[in-house]
Structure 1
Amino acid sequence: MSNELLEAIESAPVQDGGTTLADSLLLGFDTETTGIAAGRDAIVSASLVLRDPATGHAGDVVATWIVNPHRPMNPRASAVNGFTDEYLAEHGMEPVLAIEEIGAAIAAAQRRRIPLLAYNAPFDVRMLAGDLSRWKLAPLDERLDGGELLVVDPLVIDRRVSRRSGRRTLTDTTFYYGVEPHGDFHDATADTIASIDLIAPMAALYPQVGRVTLDGLMAWQRGAYDEWRESFNRWASDRGRRPVRERWL
């Protein structure tokens, strides 16, 4: 990891609980993985992007990792993210070093109440938790002295405020909010930046989003997710589809 990111995080102010989402610094996070099963699959690429809303994209501090997962790529995942076993073996960092750096940077941001932002956050958070456990590294809750991980999930927010129909992939959602991608989707850095870029137009279009405070952030999103899950499961039941049982975070 570039020391620039850690230095930028450690020089950032500790944010007050009354800080609104519209005004908050954010640490964007995205991963590419060997597959989709947390605890069994592993991270092969990750990006962290520190965003100050006062400076926007021009002030972003970015760190990226390519990781040798020491396990084979699922061919379907490889077809999406482009990584091969051969490439990762040659160019990837050893996972103990890479995953520790990622965990340390996230923990440093959390101690300053800088939320971790990820689109469909449970996936990336659980993939990281699986890798921390696999390599016998300290889990995030230990690094936070048992405190709650502060997370922003634009997918959960969008489902709560936007009643549009259709798919809600990151590509679809950025198109809806008029966000121009910086790079290609399914590149961890491009996806991270696109996810962070969603917050400003969401807050402008739905002012209640921008007014959510850090103190109320997790409860607001849990309520939003539970509301969406109840609605989705009614729809699924009418069509003989499998219900969603998982909780958010």
Structure 2
Amino acid sequence: MNVIELSWWQLGLAATLVLALAACTQLARLGLGKSLLVAAARTAIQLTLVGLVLETLFSVGSLPWVALMGVAMLLLAGREVMARQQHRLRGGWSFTIGTAAMFVSAFSVTVLTLTTIIGPTPWYTPQYAIPLLGMLLGNTMTGVALALDRLTEGVWRQRQLVENRLMLGQTWVEACGDIRRDAMRSGLMPIINAMAAAGIVSLPGMMTGQILSGTAPALAVKYQILIMFTIAAGTGFGTFVAVSVASRRLFDRRERLRLDRLTGSAGD
């Protein structure tokens, strides 16, 4: 089956729906009209630029360029993780922890999937490596960001409880144990919900794209199952690493709570 080509004027028709939604938000005084239009413009510009980059990358197909693209995606994801936290660790620790957690989880799962499960030749073939890494990074980024935000917010709000537990002789792990567990649950919940609803409530994006491009539904289903499982693994391991390292950073060697290592707000 041939893929139906889309022209720019057809995309323009789709953009009118976003414009209509922005107008409705303005009439309802939600204050989201400008943000919605900026996000839509960023989507169009960023995806167009990525398309041009990927076309060039696919034609070259060398490991250094694929690795450079992956590192750039990782650093941008790390920045997004830091920006989504209301109380973030000072001194670049939020960026470092988020980026390191995604590197350990998303990159390792991607390499394992490419070399062991899918097995393209070469294993870093951009057609497989970049989309797979992008999906893992995007979902892992969401999980890590939610977990870190819930962790720092929980410690900030329950600081008296944590300090009381420390004074009663509990270790730092015990004093913030429930906060850590809540943060980890928060990071894992989106992918758990996505897996539970896949195929019943919604058709996942990759599967839908493959079917629209002419791939047999049975094959598209296999790839989607693989993607969902790898995303779950990447998000889970990334969340565990991020919460473990960040929570340790909130206490010093004498196991004292160090709220001075947190910013008061995202704008600090």
Q: Return the TM-score normalized by structure 2.
A: 0.22
Structure number with greater Rg is 2
From the two aligned structures, give the one with the greater helix fraction. Answer: 2
Q: Return the TM-score normalized by structure 1.
A: 0.23
